[in-house]
Structure 1
Amino acid sequence: MLRYTLMRLGIFAGCLVVVWGAVYSGIFPRGYGDANFLWLLLLSMVLSAPISWVVLRKERDRASVQVVGKVERMKANLDANRSQEDGADDTARTQGQPS
């Protein structure tokens, strides 16, 4: 998961550098007034999203498998804890009642 995040940030940083160069060389228009930095960020996000979607497909699938595995383990642990609590409760009720 961390690898996917770092790769995604790397693609964004690369797009930010390319957009910055394109804006300051005049290929892309500059932002209005003090909004130039926000304009750079917006263009970089718009460009990096589809690139990440295509380039990082395998890595995203690996991260998804890891997340699903963690969720399944957490569900199994919760079910095990719930059944232990039910068993302990049943035992306590049985021992507390007179025979």
Structure 2
Amino acid sequence: MRPKNIHHPPPDRPRPRHSGFAPPKGGTEDDPKDRFVPVGDALAALLTVHMRKHPPVEVTLPWMAKDGEPVTVSLVFTTREHKPLNKNYFNYLWKGGLEAIGRRYRAAA
């Protein structure tokens, strides 16, 4: 079975000495603004192969605050230690991927 949409769960947002899930920018606790991203057949096939080779990892982190309600999600991409990617590591990987296809990385203003 190939995924046709990717559910983009809330990101792991780094906080001082605390990691947890929080809604994407613009989201609130009542309306987290989950995102569903359409996926073409070619990308769906690549993701299927990736997920067979590297099964999604269930990660439980607090929601919104250090003592927040624990939330468990399945992450398709993690660090080699099977932990959530923080924004710095994600940006490092993203930059390398863009450079590999001849695109320039532009940091957000």
Same fold (TM over 0.5): no
Greater fraction of residues in helix: 1
Which structure would you say has the larger Rg? 1
Greater fraction of residues in strand: 2
TM bucket by the smaller chain?
Answer: under 0.3
TM-score (norm 2): 0.22
TM-score (norm 1): 0.23
